[in-house]
Amino acid sequence: MPRNPLRSEAEAFRFVLLTVAYFALIVGAAALNTWFGLAVFLALTALALWRFFQRSTPEPPGPAPQGGGSA
Amino acid sequence: MSAHAEPHAPSGHHGPPIANQSSKVSASVLGMFLFIASEAMLFGAFFTAYFFVRVVNPEAQGWPLEPFHLPVFVAGVNTAVLVTSSFTMHWALQSVKRGNRAGLQAGLVLTLLMGSAFLVTQMLEYARIGFNPADGAFGTIFFGLTGLHGAHVFIGLTLLAVATVRAFRGHYTPEHHHGVEIPGIYWHFVDVMWIVVYATIYLL
């Protein structure tokens, strides 16, 4: 399961900083050349998605179901 | 409503019966995912319309088309104010976790002030921008997107105002500060959405 970037305030704050860096790089690259900007956008998006799904952590086991209910 | 007898709850438990969790994802995480997904679809609809307008004008020499002019610098300063408010929000949370009540109060007040400044500046920008929502598709989408974000800022400010009042009444402790954490998460989310809007509409 991928980790929620808005899981806590600290993680959400980190997400803000990463978003600023992400768009700063894209806008900077696009200012040089439109197609370079597109390439940077694709590369950064691929990197962000890879990191997002790579950082998956196993969920802690939940409380035992009560009353004998099954999933 | 009938007084229907529920099966006996575990001894000592009051209120409604404990919900059965059939998913591996906790309810709070699932709720946050659904919230993010719904917001992404809401903003995504506006962005789709925006990019459609850009795509159907391939002959345009620069964007936005004449006679539209966007105040990029003023909006850039406004963006810096909003990003700074995320820092003060984070400071407020870190302060309450360390038991620093003055830091919590100062952080929340500064965040509230900067958020209000952002909203007032945006309203002034609307008054001086020189076009209105009825001036073509671009005008409609511009006011729709920035107005939708402004509504989110207003909701965030309302949540922050409640948290600030409670902070001055001494409601939060290093162990119990959920009432600051949730507005903080929402505020950062609103900040992220503005960065996307600003970069897309004003810069790219």
Provide the whole-model pTM. Answer: 0.81
- Strands (E) across B91-181 are located at none
Judged on CB neighbours under 10 Å (0-12, 13-18, 19+), B173 is exposed
Is A61 at the interface with chain B, CB within 8 A?
A: no
Per-residue pLDDT tens, chain B, 204 aa: give them: 444 444 444 556 677 777 676 666 667 667 777 887 898 899 999 999 998 888 887 766 667 777 778 888 999 999 999 999 999 999 999 999 999 999 999 999 999 999 999 999 999 999 998 888 888 888 899 999 999 999 999 999 999 999 999 999 989 988 888 889 888 999 999 999 999 999 999 988
Cα separation, B77 vs B75, whole angstroms: 5
Nearest CA in chain A to B88: A13
- Count the neighbouring beta carbons within 10 Å of the beta carbon of residue B35: 14
Cis peptide before B183 (omega within 30 of 0): no
Residue of B7, B83, B204 lying closest to A30 (CB–CB): B204
Q: How far is A43 from chain B (nearest CA, A)?
A: 17
Q: Which two tokens stand for residue A52?
A: 């997002």
Contact A59 B185 (CB under 8 A): no
Chain B: which residues have CB within 8 Å of chain A?
7, 10, 18, 20-22, 24-26, 29, 32-33, 36, 83, 86, 89-90, 93, 180-181, 184-185, 188-189, 191-192, 195-196, 199, 203-204
Stretch A39-49: mean pLDDT: 93
Quickly list H helices, chain A: 9-32, 34-54
- Checking A50-54 for CB contacts under 8 A at 24+ apart, the result is A52/A2, A52/A3, A52/A5, A53/A2
- Count the neighbouring beta carbons within 10 Å of the beta carbon of residue B91: 19
Terminal Cα-to-Cα distance of chain B (whole angstroms): 57
Contact B21 A62 (CB under 8 A): yes
Coil, strand or helix at B18:
coil
Give the ipTM: 0.79
Cα separation, B21 vs A59, whole angstroms: 14
Cα separation, A1 vs A38, whole angstroms: 29
Q: What is the DSSP letter of A55?
A: T
> Sign of torsion, CA B121 A27 B35 B54?
positive
Cα separation, B92 vs B88, whole angstroms: 6
Q: What is the DSSP letter of B154?
A: H
Residue of A12, A30, A66 lying closest to B185 (CB–CB): A12
B150-160: burial string, b at 16+ Cβ within 10 Å, e else:
bebbeebbebb
